[in-house]
Amino acid sequence: MDKDALEPDDSPWLQRRGWRGFRLKESRQTLIRRHAVSSLTFDSPAKINLFLAVTGRRADGFHDLVSVVAPLAWGDTLTIESASDFTLECSEESVPPDGTNLVLKAAEAFRRVTGYRGGARFNLVKRIPMGAGLGGGSSNAATTLKALNQLAGHLLSPSALAEVAAEIGSDCPFFLEPRPVTMRGRGEQLEPMSEAGSQRLRGRRVLLFKPAFGISTPWAYAQMAATAPASYLPAAEAEERLNRWLRSGEPAERLLFNNMETPAFRKFPALPALTELLRTRFGLAVGMSGSGSACFALLPERVPMHEIEKMIRDAWGESAFVHHTHLE
Ligand code: C5P
């Protein structure tokens, strides 16, 4: 306790006993407010799609999908501090600090919906590569909404927050409460995965690897539409496949599926060349996340990490991104 925060307490109760006492100069509430942490820090995790079936095109131009998505124990970090305006500092130079960034877009959406007059200074430590299918931008936007809502004193209910998130990006609502889910609709309908299913995902070690190039999500979906209907997996088949895995008790390896690999692998042969090598040489279960270009391998207990990493670097060069983490 800071001595300056105290003053002599001459209350009769103490004097009667001949004791010298001290009391707080300010009320406890004022002190708490004055010493309150002025900035809040949030994890903004990445995700992978262990199962992704694009099932068809909708009237609004988006695609319907059935997907199993799980958060990773790794990602970006967002710090928020009360300020008069919305500003963003980012560790990554290529992230524009203007209104085209998803952090500031989310902040503006929050202001529009709530009428909130305050501002915030955001600091984003960026680790999730862009154009990867790891959900970096959506995660940043959802984390911004969560952080602002806390700063503003919970102006929005969880469901109102989810509605704002869905307007920003299809998989944005997932990141408001990241946990293993089945995603439907265009990505905004979330069903928490059963305990039996989650148990087979939680804690699984994952190796992420991404070539230097990224894949644009709109491009990938446009390719799905251009090669329809062969590119789609009918919804009933997708549900049946997923249910079979949920009922079976089989490990996560048996769940992997992604029909967005077809256009990505056609345009970028470096992707299937390496995933096939990792499968045959190390027996790994390998998939692409979302619309790519990041891929991942589910790692068994004992695995020759150095040899695997060397194979990735030999195939994709030193500029490839490689990171070892696990499912949250
Ligand atoms: O919603 P998000 O910003 O992630 O979507 C980017 C683009 O990807 C959309 O404009 C749309 O072209 C496509 N997309 C889609 N169906 C989805 C999600 C995204 O067609 N379910």
Active site residue 310: no
Chunked mean pLDDT (size 10), the chain, 328 residues? 63 70 61 60 98 98 98 98 94 83 96 96 97 97 97 96 97 98 98 96 98 97 97 98 96 98 98 98 98 98 95 98 98
Question: Which residue owns the Cα nearest ligand 1 atom 21?
Answer: 186
Residue 142 identity: A
Asked if residues 181 and 191 have their Cβ atoms less than 8 Å apart, the reply is yes
Cα 249 to chain centroid distance, Å, stands at 26
Q: Choose the catalytic residue: 64, 105, 126, 171.
A: 171
| Surface-to-core class of residue 283, CB atoms within 10 Å of its CB (0-12 exposed, 13-18 middle, 19+ buried) | exposed
Residue 293 beta carbon below 6 angstroms from any ligand 1 atom:
no
**pLDDT score for 130:** 95
Q: How far is the CA of 171 from the centre of ligand 1 (A)?
A: 9
| Two structure tokens written together for 74 | 């790794």
Q: Which of the listed residues 52, 55, 63, 224 should we mutate to test ligand 1's pocket, taking the one with most ligand atoms within 8 A of CB?
A: 63
d(CA 216, CA 67): 19
Residue 45 beta carbon below 6 angstroms from any ligand 1 atom:
no
Q: Is the peptide bond before 229 cis (omega within 30 degrees of 0)?
A: yes
Residue 57 beta carbon below 6 angstroms from any ligand 1 atom:
no
Residue 221 beta carbon below 6 angstroms from any ligand 1 atom:
yes
**pLDDT score for 4:** 58
**pLDDT score for 135:** 98
Q: How far is the CA of 62 from the centre of ligand 1 (A)?
A: 6
Active site residue 60: no
**pTM above the 0.85 mark?**
yes
| Atom in ligand 1 nearest the alpha carbon of residue 171 | 4
**pLDDT score for 9:** 72
**pLDDT score for 100:** 82
Structural domains of the chain ordered from first start: 3-35 (no CATH), 39-192 (3.30.230.10), 196-326 (3.30.70.890)
